[in-house]
């Protein structure tokens, strides 16, 4: 019985490792699916317009903080994260931005 356990343990550990690997893999596949099925908010068509409508001209091309915080780049939004909510109070817009931030691939 003890012999069996000793044999089984490394096998289990190995299986766990394989599982972790395949999860990472699956996550990658899910991301691709998401962006093509468009279930998560898309930066260009859903997120950027929120900021374009409210945060002009300062955070856009030619604005005074465009160099430091360009809101036409997804990366700025993911970097600032929920700090943006100090200026974005609309719940619907916040929800979209939150969903966008939750995307594991958000660059």
Nearer to ligand HEC (CB atom), residue 37 or residue 86: 86
Nearer to ligand HEC (CB atom), residue 45 or residue 86: 86
Interface with ligand HEC, residue 93, by CB under 6 A:
no
Interface with ligand HEC, residue 89, by CB under 6 A:
no
- 70 close to 76: Cβ distance less than 8 angstroms: yes
Among 15, 27, 33, 58, binds ligand HEC (CB under 6 A): 58
Interface with ligand HEC, residue 2, by CB under 6 A:
no
Interface with ligand HEC, residue 21, by CB under 6 A:
no
Interface with ligand HEC, residue 59, by CB under 6 A:
yes
């Amino acid at each position: 019985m003890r012999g069996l356990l000793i044999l089984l343990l490394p096998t289990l550990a190995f299986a766990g490792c394989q599982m972790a690997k395949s999860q990472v893999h699956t996550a990658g596949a899910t991301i691709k699916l998401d962006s093509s099925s468009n279930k998560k908010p898309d930066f260009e068509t859903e997120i950027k317009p929120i900021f374009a409508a409210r945060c002009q001209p300062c955070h856009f091309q030619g604005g005074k903080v465009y160099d430091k915080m360009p809101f036409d780049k997804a990366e700025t939004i993911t970097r600032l994260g929920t700090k943006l909510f100090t200026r974005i109070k609309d719940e619907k817009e916040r929800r979209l931005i939150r969903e966008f931030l939750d995307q594991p691939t958000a660059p």
